[in-house]
Structure 1
Amino acid sequence: MGEGRFVITLFLALCLITSVSAQGEGGDETSCLSGSSTEDRQGCLDSDGDGWSDPDEGWNQSMGADAFPDNASEHRDLDGDGIGDVADPDMDGDGSLDEVDVWPEDPLIWSDLDGDGYADQGLHPMSDNCPNIYGKSKIRLLGCSDIDGDFLPDEYDDDADGDGIRNEMERSASSGTILYDPYNADSTPPDADQDTIPDVLDPDNDNDGWPDYIEIDRGSDIYDGDETPFTMYFGTNTGIFYTGGLGPGSFSYEYDSDYSEFSVSFVSEIVFEELVIPLLLVPVYFAIFFSRRREFNRLLAEIGGCMDCDVLRTIETEVNLAVKQRNIRVYHGLVLRNAIELAEGELTRERFEEE
């Protein structure tokens, strides 16, 4: 009994599907008068034989029906002025002739003075935000300058020329003699380690983890990532950082200013700066000492042999200049000025006695 009901139900369902299918297949034939149209509808009445069907109650011009069913050379009237688009010199009726209208089928836009594909007219999805500047930007602004072609306008682009270095970095890297242009990809500051930071601003030009100022101080190459203060001697690692404790992670080869360093370059720096340089300066110190001493003795001798107050005043001026230029020490200057005063007093006393 159950099987019989199932068979009957299946039979009725198949009949229903067949009926609906038949109605659907015949729908197109009954929706319009039979004809030869091929463009907007298939097989409907086409009086002028241009491929576009004649309008009827269910199909009008806005749907694609022929606006000129008796004129085989026309089928559409976009602006509704009664003149077919083929014959109409301004098919969209925007006042701009089709021959100069960049968008001849859109009545809201018609010109593109900068030729970038965006309209000079506003309030349109294709309106140019920079109508006087050629540009292909598509993000945030349409038709504005986009030097690197990333569709982001230059004024919103952190790297306008697409050279990998941000605009403000290029400006900061410029100097009085070298000026980098953030809007010119051929004008790019050097970046040895390609980390987008110009070398003149990069604290670690070779990206080896060691600050440049330390590498310069130790003598390693700031542009060679394989050479560090640890590897610059003997072609092997000659240093280590102690991080604290006694575990496996207590030592490291990576630079860290917070850790204690033990290395050949560190010891060499101490020896050179604290011992070698002072020793090299000893002869210089002696040379300066004896030079000042000679100048002091010369001036003192001139004062002792001077018999004219005017000459003494000239010598005093010379003493002041020598102190200022550090040709003699300050206390030498005090001694010489005192000697000048004594000599002037002696000359004054002798002149008074003669009178």
Structure 2
Amino acid sequence: MRRAFMLATLAAVLCLASVAAEEPDACPDVDGTSTEDRTGCMDSDGDGYSDPDVNWTEADGADAFPEDATSWSDGDGDGYPDQAGASKSDDCPFTPGTSRVILFGCSDIDRDFVPDIYDDDADGDGIRNEMERAASSGTVLYDPYNPESTPMDTDQDTIPDVIDDDADGDGWPNDIENDRNSDPMDTDQTPFNIYFGTGTGVFYLGGLSFTNEYQPRALELSVSVVIEIVTEELVIPFLLIPIYILIGVFRRRTFRSFDARIHACKDLESLSELEAQINQLIRNRTIRVHHGLVLRNAIELEEDRLRSLDSSDEES
């Protein structure tokens, strides 16, 4: 009898303990089956997480995807589930993103649905990532992931001006426009229209064909190219003219000086010394060769004159 009483008491205690261990019904007015975030609430997809309501939101642990049994949480709040194996599982669960091409839920700065790591123009500023990097320098750094950091692109050909051979897109290379004093950043200005306010040149294509569009292999006929030749090709010869004149004056003065010294000589020994000096000047090109020949002839004449005088003195 006592044994039966003890068994009955133990059973009652275990029953009470089991009841006490059960979670209280969080939604007593609803016939729900949720068990994970709260007990006994509506769980539409049957994944164990309760549907969100006014008093219990996703932030409290409610199901972020109440109609999808494979998904229930979205830690970064970008609309893609954290759970692997879902139809659109978040490939970047710790970074909110809008990408849905190749990867779901990853960073997509320009919101073109292509994740930044696969996007040629991540910030959507019209300049490709590699072009922004190429346009950067030691003093200017362009960020391909910042739409506010964009290099200048005057002709909008997606090539930054600093690395664009034709920055203004007028067909003329920058270096030629710079050489011709035409603004390489002005689309309306070319080497053909910077003089007289009108077109002053053409490219000859052969036969009866001409064009005013830049053609590197065609023959250019223009005021611009003539001015370039005169100012650049001939400028060095023009600058050398004064030097040539000075050299000529110096040589002429040297010639006249030696000519006077020859006629002033009183003996053959002095003439011999002058002749040696003149030969050295000719070798060094200090005087012209024909001047040297004239001086040598003058020395010979003076030598003959002095010898004649010496002979006359001896006879007398």
Q: Do both proteins adopt the same fold according to a TM-score greater than 0.5, normalized to the shorter chain?
A: yes
Q: What is the aligned-residue RMSD (CA, Å)?
A: 2.7
Give the share of equivalent positions with the same residue, in percent.
Answer: 61
Aligned pair count reads 208
Alignment of 1:218-297 (within 5 A): 218-246=180-208, 250-280=209-239
Rounded to whole Å, the distance in 2 between the matches of 1:138 and 1:89 is 31
**Per-residue deviation at 1:78?**
7.2
Alignment of 1:92-103 (within 5 A): 92-98=45-51, 99=56, 100=61, 101-103=63-65
**Per-residue deviation at 1:107?**
2.7
2:167 is the alignment partner of 1:205 = yes
**Pair 203,119 (structure 1): closer, same or farther in 2 beyond 3 Å:** same
Contact persistence 2:41–2:50 (CA under 8 A): no
**Per-residue deviation at 1:92?**
4.1
Rounded to whole Å, the distance in 1 between the matches of 2:132 and 2:242 is 47
**Per-residue deviation at 1:105?**
3.9
Q: Which residue of 2 aligns with 1:180?
A: 142
Contact persistence 2:153–2:159 (CA under 8 A): yes
Rounded to whole Å, the distance in 2 between the matches of 1:252 and 1:265 is 15
2:75 is the alignment partner of 1:116 = no
**Pair 190,286 (structure 1): closer, same or farther in 2 beyond 3 Å:** farther
**Per-residue deviation at 1:196?**
1.1
Rounded to whole Å, the distance in 2 between the matches of 1:267 and 1:131 is 67
Which stretch of the first structure deviates more once superposed, 269-278 or 208-217?
269-278
Contact persistence 2:33–2:41 (CA under 8 A): no
Which letter does structure 2 place at the counterpart of 1:143? G
Contact persistence 1:78–1:105 (CA under 8 A): no
**Per-residue deviation at 1:229?**
0.6
**Pair 279,125 (structure 1): closer, same or farther in 2 beyond 3 Å:** same
2:111 is the alignment partner of 1:149 = yes
**Pair 91,245 (structure 1): closer, same or farther in 2 beyond 3 Å:** closer
Which letter does structure 1 place at the counterpart of 2:140? I
Rounded to whole Å, the distance in 2 between the matches of 1:136 and 1:78 is 33
**Per-residue deviation at 1:88?**
2.3
**Per-residue deviation at 1:156?**
1.4
Q: Which residue of 1 aligns with 2:177?
A: 215
Normalised to the residue count of structure 2, the TM-score between the two structures is: 0.60
Which letter does structure 2 place at the counterpart of 1:238? T
Q: Say which SS state the counterpart of residue 206 (structure 2) adopts.
A: coil
Rounded to whole Å, the distance in 2 between the matches of 1:78 and 1:236 is 86
Q: Say which SS state the counterpart of residue 102 (structure 1) adopts.
A: coil
2:41 is the alignment partner of 1:88 = yes
**Per-residue deviation at 1:141?**
1.1
Q: Which residue of 1 aligns with 2:130?
A: 168
Q: Say which SS state the counterpart of residue 76 (structure 2) adopts.
A: coil
Contact persistence 2:32–2:42 (CA under 8 A): no
Contact persistence 1:78–1:92 (CA under 8 A): no
Q: Which has the higher contact order (CA 8 A, sep 6+)?
A: 2
Deviations 1:107-136 (A, max 9, x none): 321111111110110111131011111101
Q: Say which SS state the counterpart of residue 171 (structure 1) adopts.
A: helix
**Per-residue deviation at 1:240?**
0.7
**Per-residue deviation at 1:97?**
4.7
Contact persistence 1:180–1:187 (CA under 8 A): yes
Q: Which runs of 5+ in 2 are unaligned?
A: 1-28, 247-283, 285-316
Which stretch of the first structure deviates more once superposed, 105-114 or 195-204?
105-114
**Per-residue deviation at 1:225?**
1.2
**Pair 284,222 (structure 1): closer, same or farther in 2 beyond 3 Å:** farther
Rounded to whole Å, the distance in 1 between the matches of 2:33 and 2:244 is 99
Rounded to whole Å, the distance in 2 between the matches of 1:241 and 1:184 is 44
Q: Say which SS state the counterpart of residue 273 (structure 1) adopts.
A: helix
Rounded to whole Å, the distance in 1 between the matches of 2:231 and 2:179 is 11
